[in-house]
Amino acid sequence: MDTRYQHILFSYEDGVGRIVLNRPDSLNSMTETMHADIRTALDFMEAQADLRGLILTGSGRGFCAGQDLTERAPLPPGEKRDLSRGLKDNYAPLVLRLRALPAPVVCFVNGVAAGAGVSLALACDLVYAVQSARFIQAFTRIGLLPDAGGTQTWLQLVGRQRAMGASLFAEPVSAPLAEQWGLIWKCIPDEMLEDTLQSVHARLASGPTRAYAATKQALYAASNNTLADQMELEGMLQKSLGLTDDYLEGMRAFAEKRAPHFTGR
């Protein structure tokens, strides 16, 4: 693990980065320092030619409780805080960078995810959650609305009624129910967290990296494209993938009835 960071743990191995939110005593609630640490880690990964994936998780018994409200100092009487500044400076750039990263971003929700912590998890491309995890859109409990992209991701993933109910009334959604709804990819036993994480790390490190990136690009583009536009995009991406070493290796492996050895090129 890289020791330069204060509020995260960061490592990079086999082309796969791992960011662990590391304020367990505060359920890994987000601070300015944590945002700065994540930006530095993303700067590093974006500069790596061998980048093949990113895994995001939390330390301790929770994934992320959202914004650390204790970091906001009380204002003088009569003054009010502009909450859009933190969104513009920290959360929006973070969510957009995760979506734009040219490699899969896989989140492992190891415990409760609340508020912006839910939005952070759902900004990732794929989400696993341990069985004991819960997702809580806690914003209305303090008189706010879901942010950091939460109003869009919930709606897209689970539909208006479920998104509205979870957001209006801040009712916890268990990991098994989240899987049933399609909010997450898989609910896993708590004791399988590390084994599953290591398995995903291995798949990212040995997978067809450019095919993963193209698949991510195409799926995110689909909701805004017409069918004709989407098929044109698929053709463009498929053309580029057909020129890769990984495609040639995949075809050879298929013909030889063996597992492919992808290099990410």
Q: Is 214 exposed, middle or buried (0-12, 13-18, 19+ CB in 10 A)?
A: buried
Comparing CA positions, the residue from 68, 197, 201, 61 lying closest to residue 133 is 61
Sequence ranges of the chain with CATH classification 1.10.12: 208-255
Name the CATH code of domain 208-255 (choices 1.10.12, 1.20.1440, 3.30.70, 1.10.287): 1.10.12
Q: Where in the chain is the domain with CATH 3.90.226.10?
A: 8-205
Per-residue pLDDT tens digits of the chain, which is 265 residues long: 556 899 999 999 999 999 999 999 999 999 999 999 999 999 999 999 999 999 999 999 999 999 988 877 676 777 777 788 888 999 999 999 999 999 999 999 999 999 999 999 999 999 999 999 999 998 999 899 999 999 999 999 999 999 999 999 999 999 999 999 999 999 999 999 999 999 999 999 999 999 999 999 999 999 999 999 999 999 999 999 999 999 999 999 999 999 999 998 8
Q: What predicted TM-score, i.e. pTM, was given to this entire model?
A: 0.92
DSSP category for residue 11: E
* Structural tokens at position 147: 């942010």
Which of 40, 30, 205 lies closest to 106 in space, CA to CA?
205
Cβ neighbours of residue 248 closer than 8 Å, sequence gap 6 or more: none
Q: Which CATH architecture has domain 8-205?
A: Alpha-Beta Complex (3.90)
Residue identified by tokens 């502009």 is: 82
